[in-house]
Amino acid sequence: MTTQAQSKWVEVPEELKRERRWVCWAYEERNGKRTKVPFIAGRLFRKDGEPRRASSRDPRTWRTYADAVANAGRFEGIGFMLGDGFSGIDLDRSLSADRSLQPWAERILDALRSYTEVSPSQRGLKLICYAGKPADAGPEDSGNRRPVAGGEVECYWERRFFTITGERWDASPVEIADCEDAFADVWRQYAKPAGPDNRHESPRGVADLPDAELIAKARAAKNGAQFAALFDRGDTTAYRRANEDGTVNDGESEADLALCSHLAFWTDRDAQRVDRLFRQSALMRPKWDRADYREQTVRKAVQSVTETLPPREHEARRRAGRRRGTEDSGGAGELVTVPRLAAAISDKDRFAVDDGLAIYHFDRGHYRPRGERLIRVV
């Protein structure tokens, strides 16, 4: 028998319902803005009586679909944690008031034929598919977003939760589809951070130039217009975005990171010089003197400019890994892909144990850390 609460999410795909990746969520005010916050779907409270928050980095705070639905009445709704092969695309402000679809969003949905639903704001769409981290994404990235023609495209593959409304978009498939290549293509075209390529290929000898000459080289590069907009004019327009509550994110932090990524590229990842040059830019403001903010921004920028394989070679290795039943997600413990597991499993065996005696289930090319739960069910 389906309750009224359950019927609200009746169209949520079974592929999601059977995963233990569910939370509840509610709005919280942060710096004057409404933010969606995940909570544990259960009767777990802090000493002050408030519900305990869930963490995208801690699977112990995730629950079953049934748990989320049972506790949804105490929150705004339910949500699903991305990762472990589940990726998502948020097409923010892709719907007009009459529910007509923006052309850019229509192109994305045509490329990824997977379950899509209307967001809580009724002005956007969210798509979930099977896909992993793009081969040429930054080492610390869990996803990226970028503005586009009156809206914004956000692509995430881990450390993020999506609110789930169960309001399936009219033209959406009812199942989760494998969109590995298409997801990476959409990320590259619509969400990959603007700025220098993630590969560390700064011109030989440029990092040794005096500051003024190095800046001149950066202005004259192919992406020099982007650099000049940030460094010379402090223009954050490309990084601004509207929030669901109608307020506007000024995009200053995103612009700071973008400029630091440019500078890390040209300075051969010299963190101290990145800081010194940033202070000469039009983006310089009092917030930069906060050590925690400055150091975190510079660190992320330096890490994003790293020597990698060309994308084609990355892709070949990734596909070879999937054929062997292993794949490196680049995440922290969500896809378990160490070679010792591959050696411990045969074509007929569907479970493996790692050195820490945790049980993993082999499914769709990945070792998933839920084997113990599956064994109990069987």
Mean pLDDT of 257-266: 89
Is the pLDDT score of 359 beyond 90? Answer: no
- Of the candidate ranges 50-64, 248-262, 339-353, the one whose mean pLDDT is the lowest: 339-353
pLDDT at 371: 47
pLDDT score of 275: 94
Highest average pLDDT, of 3-7, 42-46, 352-356, comes from 42-46
Are 83 and 158 in contact, with CB atoms under 8 Å apart? yes
Q: Is residue 187 scored above 90 in pLDDT?
A: yes
For residue 228, give the nearest of 198, 201, 203, 259 by alpha carbon: 259
Average predicted confidence (pLDDT) for the chain: 78
Q: Give 182's pLDDT tier (boundaries 50, 70, 90).
A: very high
Contact 117, 167 (CB under 8 A): yes
pLDDT of residue 363: 58
Q: Please say if the pLDDT value at position 366 is more than 80.
A: no
Main-chain dihedrals φ then ψ at residue 140, nearest 5 degrees:
-100, 0
Q: Which residue has the higher pLDDT, 325 or 270?
A: 270
Model pLDDT, residue 146: 84
Q: Which residue has the higher pLDDT, 147 or 18?
A: 18
Residue 242 or residue 217, greater confidence: 217
- For the four alpha carbons of 145, 297, 57 and 71, in that order, the dihedral sign comes to negative
Q: Is the distance from CB of 158 to CB of 329 less than 8 angstroms? A: yes
Q: Is the whole model's pTM more than 0.95, yes or no? A: no
pLDDT tens readout for residues 277-306: 999 999 999 999 999 999 999 988 887 765
Give the separation between CA 343 and CA 15, rounded to whole angstroms: 28
